[in-house]
Amino acid sequence: MSLVATPAQATTTAELELLTQLIGRPSVTPADAGCQDLIAERLLAIGFQIERLPFGEVSNLWATRGGAGPTLCFAGHTDVVPTGPEDQWTTRPFEPAERDGHMYGRGAADMKSGLAAMVVALEQFVAARPDHDGRLAMLLTSDEEGPAKDGIRRVVEAFQQRGESVDFCVIGECSSVDQFGDRVMVGRRGSIGATLTVLGRQGHVAYPHLADNPIHPALAAMRELAYLEWDGGNTDFPPTSFQITNVRSGTGATNVIPGTAEFDFNLRYSTELSAGAIRKRVVDILDAHRLNYRLDWWLSGEPFLTHPGPLRAAAADAIRNVTGLTPTESTAGGTSDGRFIAKLGTEIVEIGPVNATIHQIDECVRVDDLPRLTAVYRRIMEQLLAQA
């Protein structure tokens, strides 16, 4: 057997080596476990300047190379979700294992494969074009899988204060569904939630006239909210979805009317609505049902959309060129750190491997998707910075 690797084999080896090293670092959110140090070392070697932006327990890294012209940023997170029961894994979650054409380990897909491909793509591009136009950047956080309060949110706030601009951003989230390249994310729905506490008066179930059961009127209000047509969506976003996620009431006894009833709910909303409009509509309905209540809101992120332009065109072209597929452009799914980066007026796309095993036992990524992911990232650089 020849020991001389073909170009494709060499690329795969570089990515697998880095991915293996990243998976081997148990970076359960908000820990980084040295992942950013490893990546920073690679980026320093090709002329990047490194800036650390720690907030609380969270590690954030901003790396840049170049000057005049548009900034193209590759963004991602080094933290991973907890493993779950380790005895249910075929191999230990932080001991990367390659078998059956896949690399297994926590974070293999979400999103250390994306990070490995980004770094290798940057190395290849800089080697080919050391005097490239524009500015290359990489933005990393260890707080995406957790509360996401001290990660990219705080970095963007710092960027806004100092006037830092990012023209284009590619996020390495797992965008693909059935095969690599079949979908690219061009936006995300907003997410707003609340805890509704309906107040009544506790009492004996046999004497309802001496109590005030909060559940009965609350159910009518929640039913109206659940079946309300919030909007019809639009060409880029599906209709807004309202979901009750938790219900809490009662003392555990069957002969006691409870004094309170709590409902957690969440809306994933389109650009047809604003957080303010949602709050007002909820309050109007609760007031119409004459509830005595308390409402505690939290806004996880506002909807954002990258309209057709240079980045969407470059992403679609790169995927077609590398995979032969024309990707679906979507805004479905959960939130991502794109919701914070969008506040900079940045064009954003999310391109990554298949999401079928993310957050699961035996999370994995196809090994042969890694060089293709690298090639897509590199071609995006070649297109956008060549236009500078």
CA-to-CA dists, residue 9 to 6, 264, 297, angstroms = 5, 51, 51
- Kindly state the DSSP code that residue 360 receives in the 8-state scheme: S
Q: Which of 232, 234, 201, 204 is nearest to 216 (CA)?
A: 201
CA 184 to CA 173: how far, in whole Å?
10
57 carries an active-site annotation: no
Catalytic position from the list 15, 32, 143, 144: 144
Is residue 321 within 8 Å of 309, Cβ to Cβ?
no
Please report how many Cα atoms fall inside a 13 Å half-sphere around the Cα of residue 369, on the Cβ side: 26
- For residue 111, say if its preceding peptide bond is cis, omega within 30 degrees of 0: yes
Query: Residues 11, 374: contact at Cβ < 8 Å?
Result: yes
Given a contact cutoff of 8 angstroms between Cβ atoms, the answer to whether 354 and 178 are in contact is yes
Check if 236 is active-site.
no
Query: Amino acid identity, residue 286?
Result: L
Contact (CB, 8 A) for 32 and 22:
no
Distance CA 178, CA 92 (A): 26
Are the C-beta atoms of 81 and 145 separated by less than 8 Å?
A: yes
Cis peptide leading into 30, omega within 30 of 0?
A: yes
Catalytic hit among 15, 79, 143, 350: 79
Name the nearest CA neighbour of 341 among 301, 314, 297, 382. Answer: 301
Tell the burial category of 34 from Cβ atoms under 10 Å away from its Cβ (0-12, 13-18, 19+). Answer: middle
What residues are labeled active site? 79, 144
